[in-house]
Amino acid sequence: MSEYTPPQVWAWDKESGGKFANINRPVAGPTHDKDLPVGEHSLQLYSLGTPNGIKVTVLLEELLEMGTDAEYDAWLINIGESDQFSSGFVDINPNSKIPALLDRSTNPPTRVFESGAILVYLAEKFGAFIPTEPSTRAECLSWLFWQMGSAPYLGGGFGHFYAYAPEKWEYPINRYTMEVKRQLDVLERNLENRQFLCGDEYNISDMANYAWYGALVLHNIYDASEFLDVASYKSVIRWATEIETRPAVQRGKRVNSVWGPEEKRLPERHSAADFD
C-alpha cells in the first residue's frame, strides 16, 4: 500500500468507499421527501434485517412470546435504495441509520433511535428482559453498551476492510482483526462461568450481543470464520447456539429480512399470521 499524504482540507470522493459507498456521505439530513407508512399498531418499527435491526425484532417477538401487548408493524427500510434518507425517516432518526421506532401510544408520539436505546425503551415499557436489582441492572447495561461501542470495530472496521473495501490492505485488516479477536476473548472469558452475559437470566444485553457475535461465530459473516478461528471460542458458540434455538429469536431474525432463502424472508411484519 502506497503512503498516503492527507490533503490540507479533505474533500468527499463519491467513488471511494468500497461496496457500500453509495449509502455513506459526509452530511446529514434528508435527500428526498417521502412519508413513512403507518400501520394499525401503536409500535411502528422502520428497519432492515441487519444485526442492528435483528436486536429489536428479537426483543419484540420475545415480548409477544411472554404475552405482553407488544404488537407492532415492521416496515422495510432498504438502505441500498436510500430509504433511510427520506424526510419521513430522518424525522424519526436524524442519524439516518436503522432501526428507528415510533411509539404512537404516547402523546405526542415518542421517537426512539439507536438500537440500544430502543431495547432499553421497550424493556422498560413492558417491564421485561431488563433487571430491576441495581447491581444486575448495571451489569446488563454495561454489556449492552459494550456491544454498542464494540460492534463498529467488527462491522465498520473488520467487516469493511476484510470483505468490502476495494482492495485488501494488510495494516487495517490486521488492526481490526486484533480488536475483533480481543472482543471475542472478552465474551469467552465472561461466558466460561455464566449461562448468559449477566448470569442465569437472559436479557437485552444477550439479544444485542447475539445479533452481532452470534452471527460471527455461527454463520460465517464476512466469510471470516476460519480466518478468525471462531471455533476456538467455545463458550461464545455455546451461548449463541442456546439463544438461537429460542422460537422468538427465530421469528425475529426473519422480520425485515431480504436475504437468504425465500421462505425465511419477511420484509414486512404486521401480525403473527405473517409468519405462516
My answer on whether 155 and 124 are in the same domain is no
My answer on whether 123 and 150 are in the same domain is no
Cα–Cα distances (Å) from 240 to 26, 123, 188, 213, in that order, read: 36, 21, 11, 8
My answer on whether 252 and 237 are in the same domain is no
My answer on whether 30 and 157 are in the same domain is no
pLDDT of residue 231: 98
pLDDT of residue 14: 75
Which strands make up the sheet holding 72-76, listed edge to edge? 72-76, 43-47, 100-103, 110-113
Q: Is 203 helix (H, G, I), strand (E, B) or coil?
A: coil
Supply the CATH number for residue 191's domain. Answer: 1.20.1050.10
Q: Is 204 helix (H, G, I), strand (E, B) or coil?
A: helix
pLDDT of residue 19: 72
Helix (H) or strand (E) holding 101: strand 100-103
* CA atoms of 40 and 75, how far apart (whole Å): 12
Q: pTM of the entire structure?
A: 0.96
Q: How many CB atoms lie within 10 A of CB 32?
A: 10
> Among the residues of the chain, which ranges form H helices?
51-65, 87-92, 115-126, 134-152, 170-191, 204-209, 215-219, 225-228, 234-244, 247-254
My answer on whether 80 and 21 are in the same domain is yes
pLDDT of residue 119: 98
- Residue-number span of the structural domain to which 142 is assigned: 134-244
My answer on whether 146 and 234 are in the same domain is yes
My answer on whether 63 and 1 are in the same domain is yes
pLDDT of residue 52: 98
My answer on whether 42 and 91 are in the same domain is yes
Where the chain has pLDDT below 50, the residues are none
Record the cell numbers describing residue 101, joined without a space: 421506532
My answer on whether 119 and 219 are in the same domain is no
Nearest CA to 183 out of 221, 216, 135 is that of: 216
